[in-house]
């Protein structure tokens, strides 16, 4: 009886178009949309090319010359320098061939034609050079042998784009949207959890009434459908993580296996939440479904699916809400997995998800244990 119930639940759930759309197709579409939008943003904001710059040397400043050469070399060069005279430099600037002109005369001056990020970087470069130039000149007078090393150190200091990894994981700031996407898949698994009640309760559907007339004990039927819900949700999550990781090439960090584990546990928690909601909310399937969607998508909103900056606000204003919001728990779990060098915080969130899943399931069982109905 148990396996008959389990087999046909999984079969019917995997054929249910609405469920497949929300738990498989929609996350793929949204993930693809995120990827297209965010890879464009990432390219614009974070992958700087060396800034084309004209340098006009009207005086013999060897320190400046060496520093400029230093920051113009290598794969991660800050500047793409053209040494030229003033007239040609101005023509290059007017033609848009360079972003600015740095003139080395009695002092160092900068000429730019706009105020984009490239111009800001050039301004920052020249300002910091001027700050450190005097110190270097004094030091050079005392110990000229140390000058090359000092120039190199100064170049490194001026290379404002050089990355300093603080974690072993991915630094993509937009990764939080993909965490939220997985949290959404998990939270939307609550739709599957509704089936536990609607398919088994005589006052919910004709199917439920027919099943209640059969000699299959309700506990067995409920357990089988619950297990089926977990299995279907887990499969949907596996597909979503696989699609994001291997098709869209979203960088979830080094340990993808643990991303799968967090996702699957999250989806189990989500479907258990649906079971609990369906057992607590009295009324039609539509009513239960509405409440489940509000809770799921509301949780996703508060954890930053639609607006990434909302989560810090919730953490500050209502930390308890963040602690027990299932979507936020999944996001945090994935975030900790990515940024932490050890798994302690990740493990803590995994345990929390497990506890919440068990609690949701138990509450669901308690509120569906009645066997006769006052009305059908």
Partner 1 sequence: MADTLIKIDSLVKRYGELIALDHLALEIKQGEVFGLLGPNGSGKTTTINCLLSLLSYDKGTIKIFGKDMSPTAYDIKRDIGVIMQNVAVYDELTVQENIDYFCGLYITDKTQRGQYVEDAIKFVGLEDFRKFRPKKLSGGLLRRLNIACGIAHKPKLIILDEPTVAVDPQSRNKILEGIEELNRNGATIIYTSHYMEEVEQICTRIAIMDKGKKIAEGTKEELTAMIKNTETIKVTLHELPDAVLSEISALPHVYSTDFTDETLTVSCSGGKHNLIRVLEVLQNHDMHIGRVTTEQPTLNDVFLEITGKALRDKEE
| Site residues (vs partner 1, CB under 8 A) | 1, 4-5, 8, 11-13, 15-16, 202, 205-207, 209-218, 371-376
Nearest distance in Å: CB 254, partner 1 = 40
List Cβ neighbours of 69 (8 Å cut-off, separation of 6 or more). 81
Instruction: Tell me whether residue 208 or residue 326 sits nearer to partner 1 (CB atom).
Output: 208
Nearest distance in Å: CB 5, partner 1 = 8
Which is nearest to 78 in space by CA: 116, 31, 125? Answer: 125
Instruction: Tell me whether residue 249 or residue 371 sits nearer to partner 1 (CB atom).
Output: 371
Nearest distance in Å: CB 306, partner 1 = 32
Instruction: Tell me whether residue 191 or residue 356 sits nearer to partner 1 (CB atom).
Output: 191
Pairing of strands 100-104, 108-112: antiparallel
Nearest distance in Å: CB 20, partner 1 = 11
The answer to whether the CB of 109 falls within 8 A of the CB of 102 is yes
Instruction: Tell me whether residue 182 or residue 232 sits nearer to partner 1 (CB atom).
Output: 232
For helices 344-367 and 326-339, the axis angle rounded to 10 degrees is 160
Sign of CA dihedral 80, 82, 83, 88: negative
Instruction: Tell me whether residue 134 or residue 372 sits nearer to partner 1 (CB atom).
Output: 372
Instruction: Tell me whether residue 227 or residue 310 sits nearer to partner 1 (CB atom).
Output: 227
CA pair distance 250, 196, nearest whole angstrom: 34
Nearest distance in Å: CB 271, partner 1 = 18
Nearest distance in Å: CB 225, partner 1 = 12
Nearest distance in Å: CB 228, partner 1 = 13
Sign of CA dihedral 111, 114, 118, 124: positive
Instruction: Tell me whether residue 199 or residue 311 sits nearer to partner 1 (CB atom).
Output: 199
Instruction: Tell me whether residue 15 or residue 142 sits nearer to partner 1 (CB atom).
Output: 15
Nearest distance in Å: CB 284, partner 1 = 14
CA pair distance 250, 39, nearest whole angstrom: 10
Q: Cα torsion for 271, 273, 276, 277, to the nearest 10°?
A: -100
Which is nearest to 185 in space by CA: 42, 344, 330? Answer: 330
The answer to whether the CB of 162 falls within 8 A of the CB of 50 is no
For helices 256-280 and 344-367, the axis angle rounded to 10 degrees is 20
**Phi-psi bin for 283: left (phi > 0), alpha (psi -120 to 50), beta?**
left
């Amino acid at each position: 009886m148990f396996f008959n119930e389990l087999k046909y639940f999984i079969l019917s759930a995997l054929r249910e178009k609405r469920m497949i759309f929300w738990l498989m197709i929609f996350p793929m579409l949204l993930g693809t949309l995120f990827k297209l939008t965010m890879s464009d943003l990432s390219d614009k904001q974070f992958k700087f090319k060396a800034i084309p710059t004209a340098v006009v040397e009207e005086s013999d400043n060897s320190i400046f010359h060496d520093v400029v050469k230093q920051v113009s070399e290598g794969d991660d060069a800050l500047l793409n320098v053209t040494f030229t005279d003033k007239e040609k430099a101005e023509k290059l600037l007017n033609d848009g061939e360079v972003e600015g002109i740095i003139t080395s005369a009695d002092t160092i001056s900068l000429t730019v034609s706009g105020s984009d990020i490239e111009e800001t970087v050039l301004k920052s470069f020249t300002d910091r050079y001027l700050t450190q130039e005097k110190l270097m000149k004094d030091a050079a007078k005392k110990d000229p042998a140390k000058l090359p090393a000092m120039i190199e150190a100064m170049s490194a200091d001026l290379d404002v784009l050089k990355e300093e990894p603080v974690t072993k994981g991915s630094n993509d700031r937009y990764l939080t949207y993909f965490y939220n996407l997985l949290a959404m898949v998990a939270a939307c698994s609550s739709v599957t959890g509704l089936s536990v009640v609607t398919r088994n309760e005589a006052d919910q559907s004709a199917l439920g009434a027919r099943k209640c007339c059969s000699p299959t004990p309700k506990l067995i039927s409920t357990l089988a459908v619950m297990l089926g819900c977990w299995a279907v949700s887990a499969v949907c999550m596996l597909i979503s993580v696989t699609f994001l990781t291997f098709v869209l090439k979203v960088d979830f960090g080094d340990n993808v296996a643990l991303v799968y584990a967090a996702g699957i546990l999250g989806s189990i928690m989500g479907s258990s939440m649906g079971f609990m909601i369906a057992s607590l909310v009295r009324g039609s399937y539509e009513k239960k479904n509405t409440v489940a969607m509000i809770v799921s998508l509301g949780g996703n909103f508060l954890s930053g699916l639609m607006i990434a900056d909302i989560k810090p606000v919730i953490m500050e204003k209502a930390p308890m809400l963040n602690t027990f919001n299932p979507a936020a728990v999944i996001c945090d779990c994935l975030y900790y997995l990515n940024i932490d060098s050890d798994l302690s915080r990740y493990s803590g969130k995994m345990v929390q998800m497990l506890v919440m899943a068990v609690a949701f399931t138990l509450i669901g069982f308690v509120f569906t244990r009645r066997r006769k109905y006052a009305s059908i």
